[in-house]
Every structure is written in C-alpha cells, then in structure tokens.
Amino acid sequence: MDDRKGSFETNQISHFLGNYWDIIGGILFGITAFLFYTQHNIYFTTIFAAFAIGFLSITVSEIAEILAERLGEPLGSYVLTITAVIVEILLLFNVMLEASENISALNTVKGGIISAVIVDMNVLLGLAVFIGGLAFSEQQHNEDTSSTYTTILYVSALALLVPSILSNTHHGDDIIKKVSLIIGCLLFSFYIIILIFQTKTHTHFFKATARSRMFRFRRKLKEDEEEENEDYIFEKIPTFINFFFIFIFIFIIGILAELFAHDGLSVAKEYGISTGIAGLFIAIISVAPEIFTAIKAAKNDQIQRVVNIAMGASTVSILVTVPVLLLLGLIFDINLTLGFNALEVGALVFTIILAWKTTDDGETNYFEGISHLMLFLCYAVIAGYY
C-alpha cells in the first residue's frame, strides 16, 4: 500500500514538473540572476538572466498557443507573434537605455532588429521545414500566405534602406534622424493596413487550403491530447485571465531584460564580441519559444502554421518593433536611427529572396529547410568578424 502511495506521489510530482518546468526554471533562474546582480557578477547575471528570459518566454508562448487554438487562424498566429515581439522590444529597449554608457549599444539594437528577421526566416522556418520535410517528404501550405508576406517584407526592407542610403550621401545626423522617424511612421501605417487585410478582408489568404493527412490523424486523437493536458491550469482558465498571466510574465521578463542588458553589454565589451553577434544572441532568446512552437507544428504536418508564425513574426519585427523603438528613443532622448550597415541590409534582402523562392509554390521539403539554415550560418560567421 505504501509502495502504491509512493508511486502515485512520484507520478504526481513528475506530472507537475512536466507541465510547469518552464515556470519553475524561469523563476529559479531569475532569482539566481538577481542574486548574482547584487553581487556585481556580470558573467553569471547575464547567463542566468538569459536562461530565465528564455524559460519564461516559453511559458508566454505556451499560453499564447492555447489562446491561438481558441481564436483560430489567422488571429491565433497573430497572438503568438505579437507576444514574441513584445519580448523582443523589451530586450532591445533595455539595451538601448545603455547607450549613454556604452556607445556600441545602439549598433547592437540595430543588429537585433535585423537579426530577429534573420532568425525567424532562417532558423525558425529552416528548422521547422527541415524537420517536417524529413517526416513527410513534402508539406503543403497556402501559397497566397507566403506570396503576401514576402511582398510585405520586401517593401519593408526597401523602406529601411532609405536612411542607410541617405547616411552615405553626406547628410547630417539631424536629417537621418528625421528621415528615420518618417520611415517609422510609414512602417506602422503600413502595418495597420496589413492588419486589416489579414484579419478582416482577406483572412483566407492566411488559412490552410486543405488539411494534411497527419493533421487529420491528430484531430482524431484530440480526446487523447485533451486528456494529456487536462491538468494544465492555463487550459482550464478563461481567455481574459490567460491574457492577464501573459502580461504578468512579460512584466517579469522586462525586469530580467534590464539585468541582461546592463551586464550583457559589459561582458560583450570585455570579450570583444561584435554587435552583430550580440544582436543575434538577443534575437535567438526572443525567438526561441516560437521555434519550439513551429517545430511542434511541423511534426504535426501543420506547415501552414509554421509559415504564418515565421513570416508573421518577421513582418511584426520590422513594422512594429522599429516604430516602437524609434518612439521610445524620442521619448527618452536616445539618438536611434535606421542607418544599417551593408551586412545587415544585404542579409535581410537575401533572406527575403530565399524565402520567396522556397515558399512561392506552396510546397516545402527538407532541402529548402537546409538552404535557410546554411544562409543563417554564413550570416553568423560574417557577423562574428564584421
């Protein structure tokens, strides 16, 4: 009898840890980061803060995924992408606040903006397409989705080029800042139009045209999945309370982002880490939860959701992150402009062209996934030495 009771308690603990490992880990890592911060240990503060942000971002992603299932497409993918972008903005804004003490901070912010798109389109999309391609040979999605998103990203990338071009034609900093603010306003206006297009007038552009065989099989096993997740508290509570918890976790992430930015830049400066790599590291932390979600979707043959997440997140990264950071820079008197270097602009344009080529026919396979991963690795090598 005691053995059965002990086995039951062990299973309960194991089940609890399996459901809430990300929250437990995020809190423990966060507390540890804060303790090291009080001891002025910049190395361990940076490491533990990064882990805490990553773990709690996974929690936010899990709750957002529950909301996504309730809201359906395309609103579901929109919720997933916007939560990840909020984490990205928090990280980059806290790095931006360090500009008065560290002159490389603004370059790190600009590197982070571009890197978010690079990671979304090459790591997230590449890994998911590769893993899904190994499992199902070919996967189908709505070609209107990728066509629309690549057009949006191409136009947005060209808009970002405007201040960079002017910065090379002997214009003063005041003009570049003014042009950057104008471009920021245009980008956000473009986003409002896209949001209406995506959620009101042309929602069919962002939905799967047919259900795949594995997805149908998964739907048949829905009862088993619900039974497996029946003890997960966020599955039980109402939608508005889930939104409340998302904001709570994002608030905690914001505090951790301040620790990470303050000590992380000091570590990068001490070890001579390039601003490109620093920006790439920030992007990977903010995008990591979406990567897990996309891989899970690809394994379930839901490649439409992968495309929505990868390209939707990239779109929001440019059209929302850039205007918000420019506005915050204006409020806090930080001279952030959109003067990107040649590597960042080139990598962004080539990424969009590759995404267009690999998704325009509505089918993906593992070779196309590898192509995106190769582009990312090449960018990472150059960023390390640029």
Using one digit for the tens of pLDDT, what is the confidence trace for 140-153? Answer: 888 888 889 999 99
**Six-digit token string for 356:** 């267009």
Provide the 8-state DSSP code for 197.
Answer: I
Which pLDDT value is given to residue 290? 82
pLDDT value at 215 more than 90: no
- Condensed to tens digits (0 to 9), the pLDDT of residues 55-81 reads 988 888 888 878 877 776 566 666 777
Identify the residue with better confidence: 262 or 193.
Answer: 193
- Cβ atoms of residues 67 and 79 within 8 Å: yes
Residue 66's domain spans which residues?
2-385
List the structure tokens of 127: 């890994």
What CATH number is associated with residue 204? 1.20.1420.30
Lowest mean pLDDT among 140-154, 207-221, 342-356: 207-221
Phi-psi region of 203 (alpha: psi -120 to 50; beta: other; left: phi over 0): alpha
Cis peptide before 289 (omega within 30 of 0): no
Sequence letter at residue 31: I
Residue 116 has pLDDT above 60, yes or no: yes
φ, ψ of residue 360 to 5 degrees: the values are -70, -20
pLDDT band at 96 (very low <50, low <70, confident <90, very high): very high
Q: Please give the share of the chain, as a percent, with pLDDT higher than 70.
A: 88
Number of domains in the chain: 1
210: number of Cβ within 10 Å: 10
Half-sphere exposure of 48 (CA within 13 A, CB side): 18
Question: Could you tell me which residues come within 8 angstroms of residue 165 by beta carbon, excluding any fewer than 6 positions away?
Answer: none
- The DSSP code for 98 is G
What the block records as the tokens of 218 is 């998964």
Q: Is pLDDT larger for residue 341 or for residue 182?
A: 182
SS3 state of residue 341: coil
Lowest mean pLDDT among 43-57, 88-102, 196-210, 358-372: 196-210
124, 310 Cβ separation under 8 angstroms = yes
**Beta-carbon contacts of residue 346 (< 8 Å; ≥ 6 apart):** none
* Burial letters 20-48, b for 16+ CB under 10 A, else e: bebeebbbebbebbbebbeeeebeebbbb
pLDDT score of 60? 85
CA-CA-CA-CA torsion for 141, 143, 79, 251, nearest 10 degrees?
Answer: 100
Among 237, 240, 247, CA closest to 82: 247
Mean pLDDT for all residues in the chain: 84
**Do 177 and 329 contact (CB within 8 A), yes or no?**
no
Average of per-residue pLDDT across 212-227: 46
Given a contact cutoff of 8 angstroms between Cβ atoms, the answer to whether 111 and 317 are in contact is no
